[in-house]
Chain A
Amino acid sequence: GAVVSQHPSRVICKSGTSVKIECRSLDFQATTMFWYRQFPKKSLMLMATSNEGSKATYEQGVEKDKFLINHASLTLSTLTVTSAHPEDSSFYICSAPSAGGWDEQFFGPGTRLTVL
């Protein structure tokens, strides 16, 4: 099946700094990617839809200026957590739909962000 990678897998940063997380589709093109946030023992919360060549679409309650998304190419989307604070610590997961769109999505392995 198709592969989605994320980098880094784990990051620890100081409060106030910015962190960039990359999501890559390795063997297929993805005009759309999704960013999720998962809290401990909780479900995935969709943060935003990343669209290649246009602005991301954010879900209600997600701060656009806090979580910057850039879909630079058909295989790369980045999520930048700006001025990170401890409450931003979480597990961030990206996904991309299969080529047809109506089959499964392919999920990245996730990035564990810890803000000190």
Chain B
Amino acid sequence: AQSVAQPEDQVNVAEGNPLTVKCTYSVSGNPYLFWYVQYPNRGLQFLLKYITGDNLVKGSYGFEAEFNKSQTSFHLKKPSALVSDSALYFCAVRDPPTSGTYKYIFGTGTRLKVLA
């Protein structure tokens, strides 16, 4: 079964500092990995995805993620954090094309708090 793990419930970072939100995955076959962000009482917004290609994926709002096959990780990063980045971040893996579905499996979420 596919799964993702987000080992940190919360990450605190000072504004202007680089941030990393961790995600590791377990899949059979090629991974289809995503990061989403959720602001309070809102739905999820897409940040970026890895399907194939370059291991460094660039996404919305200056975020990027590095796919590392050997470490089965897909950590979310940003060079300089903003207070407005404070939100709940979800890593997700989706079923492969052979499954015939588009189902996502979400991690438990990491709350990012950027301190002014």
Whether A34 lies near B103 (C-beta < 8 A) is yes
Interface with A: B65-73, B76-84, B104-112, which one?
B104-112
3 nearest A-B residue pairs (beta carbon): A107-B43, A104-B46, A97-B102
Closest CB-CB distance, B107 to chain A, in whole Å? 6
Q: B interface vs A, CB < 8 Å?
A: 32, 34, 36, 41-46, 49, 51, 90, 97, 101-109, 111
Whether B103 lies near A49 (C-beta < 8 A) is yes
Chain B residues contacting A42 (CB-CB under 8 Å) are 108-109
Chain A residues contacting B108 (CB-CB under 8 Å) are 42-43
Chain A residues contacting B45 (CB-CB under 8 Å) are 107
Chain B residues contacting A105 (CB-CB under 8 Å) are 46, 102, 104
Chain A residues contacting B90 (CB-CB under 8 Å) are 43-44
Show 26 A/B contacts (Cβ-Cβ < 8 Å), sorted by A: A4-B43, A34-B103, A41-B109, A41-B111, A42-B108, A43-B90, A43-B106, A44-B44, A44-B90, A44-B106, A46-B103, A46-B104, A46-B105, A49-B101, A49-B103, A93-B43, A95-B43, A101-B102, A102-B51, A102-B97, A104-B36, A105-B46, A105-B102, A106-B46, A108-B43, A110-B43
